[in-house]
Structures are given as C-alpha cells and as structure tokens.
Amino acid sequence: MQVQLTNRQQHILWATIRHYIATAEPVGSKALVEEYNLGVSSATIRNVMGALEKSGFLYQPHTSAGRVPSDSGYRIYVDRLITPSETLGKEVEVVLQQNLKWEEWSWEAILQGAAQILSTLSGCITLITMPQTGAAVVRHLQLVQIEAGRVMLIVVTDGYETHSAVLDLPPEQDNTQLDAEAIDHKLQIVSNFLNSHLRGRSLVELANLDWSELDREFQSYSNFLKKSLAELSRRTLKPSATQIMVRGIAEVLRQPEFSELQQVKTLIHLLEEEQDQLWQLIFEQPETEEVGKPRVTVRIGSENPLEPIRTCSLISSTYRRGLVPVGSVGVLGPTRLDYESAIVVVSAAADYLSEAFSSFNS
C-alpha cells in the first residue's frame, strides 16, 4: 500500500533528508527555515515533522533532539523525491573513458581502475565483481504433460545437465476442454517452436526474452512461457561467485555511523572473508526489468538481508554482454548517503562496463 503524502509533507521530508545527509546531525525546524525556502513558519514545519514521525518516516534519537530519517523515509526519498542527473551521468562516463583504457589494459586492471574511480566519486565503498564465464546454454527444451492442467518444463544444457520445473497450464482462450492427446500434440508444437528460437541461448537470457516475435497461434502461451522460463532461469541458474574488487573502505569508515569498533569489524569481515554472501546479494537479478536496460537496485538499511550491512545502503546494477548479465557494480555506504549521485554513478558505471566488456570480448 502506497502512503499518500501532501506536497508540503514531501517537500519538508525532502529538505529534512537533504540536510541530514549534509550534516549528519538531527534536523530541527529552525535549520530548515534558515536554509530552505519552504514558505512556511517554523511552527508549521514542526507540525509536519511530527506527522512524518508518526507515519514512521522520521524519528528522534533523543527526546530533545531534532529528527533523523528512518529507512522508510529514505525509501520515500529515493522512490519519489529525487531525480538522478543525466548531466552527472555523462560526466561520470567521461571520467571513466578518460582514465580507463580497455584497448590496452587487462580486464582485471579495468575493473580495479573503475572501482577506484567510483569510490572517489561516490565517497562509498565500491564493489565490482569479476565477470561470469561459460554460462550454460540451452541444448534442448521440452514441455511434458504430467497430469491434468500441469506440465513439466525440461531444459537440457550444452553440458548435458537437466533442469526442470512443474508448471500450471494456462486455460484455452475459448475455454474449450482438450483431451490429453490434444494437449500433448499442442505441447509438442510449442516445444518445437521454443527449440527453434531458444537453442544456443544462455539460461540467463531466458529471463529477459522479447516475446513480441511469438507467432499468432502461440499468443495464448506468451505470458505462461515468459513467466515459466524466467522462473526456471532464476531457479536453476547458479553462477559461481567470483572475486569482488573492493575499494574505498578507509574513506567510508571515517563517517560517524562507523564509530563503533565491533560494527567496523563485522563489516570488514564480510568484505574480506564472506564475499560469497555479498556476491549473491549484489548479483541478484530483479524480477522485472526493461529488456536491455540495466536497472539500479537500492537496498536501504533493514532491507539488506546481511546483518553487517543492515545499517548501510547498497546500490547496485549489472554490467552485461549484450542482454546477458555477466557481472555487477555497486556502492555501499551509510544510509545517510547522497542517493542522487550514487544512483547516477552506479548506472553510468554499469553502462560503461557493459560497453567495455562487449568491446573487450568481441
């Protein structure tokens, strides 16, 4: 359920978060009156901030202190109140192009250089994974009826590994009831069609296919097959964790959020000793995504499943070869970070690395 905020509430929430990001100090109404042209009195701002606190978007760390954004407040801020700058994105790409030479460097050197540049630009810890290699490719695909209304989708890869998923068959468009033999015949036709279109594609691609090319007779199966193959791809594709380039730890640890020694130890242990857990998180594919366009994922505070980073925000995207994700790039910092800039930096880096990787391996 989407929370409805008035324009005034949105504006004051935006100003509160901007001020807190800049100062790391709890925000009071007086500071907002002095530094932002909100067009309302200090008393009105206090009332609005109180309402935002009751809604869970702000909180008071101490009774006499000003307000601080909650994870929910940051989520509203990221989803509704900011617009990443296209100009900044182009500037980031120019910096990467000027400082990285994919025609001359090894791919590992390119990623190391990119990680260092991104940590400098974002002020965050930068995480870039080495690319995946040898993704499994579809050799054969078959739909088999196993009982009334249910079929099994079987995929055999080029390494002769078999993956399967049991699925509910969609009803006929005209609501006619087909007997088992007629269903088997139709499933064979669909299987032949899929083999002609999907043989030689990687399992990763199954989740991002363009179904606009389906023949008219298969339109009734379009959504069924799209969801089925995407689910099979997510369920069976188990990419191996690769090395993560980590840069910018020292800069981030100077932030006041990392003043507790134990918190720092657990974070560094995750970054250095438990990269497999972190790798699975930043390489995770979103359920829905525009074909061919890398999507930036923003996980704020408690949205992160890993305990050492539940007080941090992780912004990540994938870089690709064509439509196939091969690696990931992300930045990790306190929840009090410059989301507008960080989102742009990650998106621009993903675009640059996608172009570089495709050129490097062409």
Q: Which residues pair with 67 in a beta bridge?
A: 27
Do residues 268 and 250 touch, judged by C-beta distance below 8 A?
A: no
Q: Which residues pair with 27 in a beta bridge?
A: 67
Residue 3: pLDDT over 60: yes
Averaged pLDDT for residues 113-137: 86
Residue 319: pLDDT over 80: yes
Express each pLDDT in 32-44 by its tens digit.
999 998 889 999 9
- The span from the CA of 69 to the CA of 30, in Å, is 17
Averaged pLDDT of the chain: 84
Q: Which strands sit side by side in the sheet containing 244-247, from one edge to the other?
A: 244-247, 125-129, 324-334, 312-321, 297-300
Residue 134: pLDDT over 90: no
339 or 63, which is more confident: 339
Give the per-residue pLDDT at 293: 46
Domains defined for the chain, CATH in brackets: 7-81 (1.10.10.10), 87-130+241-360 (3.30.450.40), 137-237 (3.30.390)
Residue 131: pLDDT over 70: yes
Residue 361: pLDDT over 50: yes
Express each pLDDT in 188-224 by its tens digit.
888 888 888 788 877 666 655 665 655 555 555 656 6
- The span from the CA of 148 to the CA of 137, in Å, is 31
Express each pLDDT in 281-299 by its tens digit.
888 755 445 444 448 999 9
* Residue 169 binned pLDDT confidence (cut-offs 50, 70, 90): confident
Do residues 124 and 178 touch, judged by C-beta distance below 8 A?
A: no
358 or 139, which is more confident: 139
Express each pLDDT in 181-198 by its tens digit.
888 888 888 888 888 878
Q: Which residues pair with 141 in a beta bridge?
A: 155
Averaged pLDDT for residues 164-179: 69
Give the per-residue pLDDT at 288: 45
